[in-house]
Amino acid sequence: MTIKVALAGAGAFGIKHLDGIQNIPDVQVVSLISRDLGKTREVADRYGIPHVTTDLADSLAIKEVDAVILCTPTQMHASQTLACLEAGKHVQVEIPLCDVLAEGEKVLALQQQTGKVAMVGHTRRFNPSHQYVHQKVQAGAFNVQQMDVQTYFFRRTNMNALGQPRSWTDHLLWHHAAHTVDLFAYQAGSPIVQANAVQGPIHKDLGIAMDMSIQLKAANGAICTLSLSFNNDGPLGTFFRYIGDSATYIARYDDLFNGKEEKIDVSQVAVSMNGIELQDREFFAAIREGREPNASIAQVLPCYRVLHQLEQQLNAA
C-alpha cells in the first residue's frame, strides 16, 4: 500500500522532507501547500507533485490523502495539527508542536480521541549521532551525567535557513530550546524536575530575546546547561556535549565524536545518515504498523510543559 501524503510548507524545511521521502519506498507526496502559489508550483514540478494549493483545507478534502506533514510557521502548528486530526489524517508536525501550552494539550486530547498517528519533528531523537548515544544508555553502557549544549545562529534579521526573508518570527525558547529540553529527558531516561532560565535584552525590531541560558535537572540527578543565541557570528547550529560515567561524546547533527574530537562511525546505526529522513521513516512505519511513533504527542508534551514553566519565569523576571 502506498501512503499518500500532503506536505504543507515549501520552504527550507519542507524541501528537506521532500528529499528524504524520495528515499522511502511506497510513499507518495500528492499535494503541496504553501502561501506563494508560483513558488509552490515550481517546487511541485521539481518533485512531481500533482496538486498545489495555498489552503490546507483543499488538501485535507482530498480523500486519498492518508497523512500530512506540516512545515509551516510555528504559530500555525497546533491549529493545523488539530485540523488534520479532525479530517481523519495522520499528522507529523515540525518542531515546535505549539508556542502556547494549552494548544498542545488540546492536540494531545484530540489525538487520543481519534487514535491517529501524530508525532512532532523532534529530529534529535532520530539523528544517528544521538541514536548511538541512546543505544549505549539503553544497553546500560553509558549514563548521562551532564549535557552541555550550544544552539547558535546569526539571525539579527528575520531570515530562514536558505537566507530568504521570513514572514514570521522564530523563537529561542519555544523552537530551539524545545530540541534540547526534549532530548535531555529522553537521553537521561528521567523526567525534568528543575528548570531555570535567564534571557538577554529584547530586540527592538524582532520583539524577541536574542540570547538565553537554561539550566535543567532530571529526577535521576543528571544536569543540562543550554546556551542559545541569535547573535553568534561563527559556526551555526547546535552542538551537544554528553559527559557521562564511561565516556564523553560530542554530537554535531548526524555526526558524532568522542571527547578528544576523534570521529565515531555511526553509519551502521540506522538505514540512513539523514535525521529528517529517519524521522519520516518512523512516521510512516508507525502508520503501517498501527502503533505509537517515537516523538509522539504524548511523549514530547512534557517538554512543552517545561517550556511553559520557563516562559512564566522569564515573564515574571
Mean pLDDT score of the chain, rounded to an integer?
A: 94
| CATH 3.30.360.10, the chain: domain bounds | 124-274+304-316
* Contact present, 215 and 223 (Cβ < 8 Å): yes
pLDDT at 40 over 70: yes
**Proportion of the chain above pLDDT 70, given as a percent:** 95
pLDDT at 222 over 60: yes
* Grid cell for residue 240: 551537544
Candidate from 163-167, 242-246, 301-305, 308-312 with smallest mean pLDDT: 163-167
34 by Cβ neighbours in 10 Å (0-12 / 13-18 / 19+) ranks as buried
pLDDT (0 to 100) of residue 67: 98
Q: What is the dihedral of CA 256, 123, 21, 268, to 10 degrees?
A: 30
* Contact present, 273 and 254 (Cβ < 8 Å): yes
Higher pLDDT, 317 or 176: 176
| CATH 3.40.50.720, the chain: domain bounds | 3-121+276-293
How far is 122 from 72, CA to CA, in rounded Å? Answer: 15
pLDDT at 162 over 90: no
pLDDT at 167 over 70: no
Angle at CA of residue 294, ends 177 and 19, nearest 5° = 80
Decide which of 3.40.50.720, 3.60.15.10, 2.30.30.90, 3.90.79.10 is the CATH code for 3-121+276-293: 3.40.50.720
Q: How confident is the model at residue 154 (pLDDT cuts 50, 70, 90)?
A: confident
pLDDT (0 to 100) of residue 157: 63
Strands of 118-121's sheet, edge to edge? 51-53, 27-33, 3-8, 67-70, 90-94, 118-121
Q: How confident is the model at residue 235 (pLDDT cuts 50, 70, 90)?
A: confident
Q: What is the CATH number of domain 124-274+304-316?
A: 3.30.360.10
pLDDT (0 to 100) of residue 51: 98
pLDDT (0 to 100) of residue 317: 82
Question: pTM of the entire structure?
Answer: 0.94
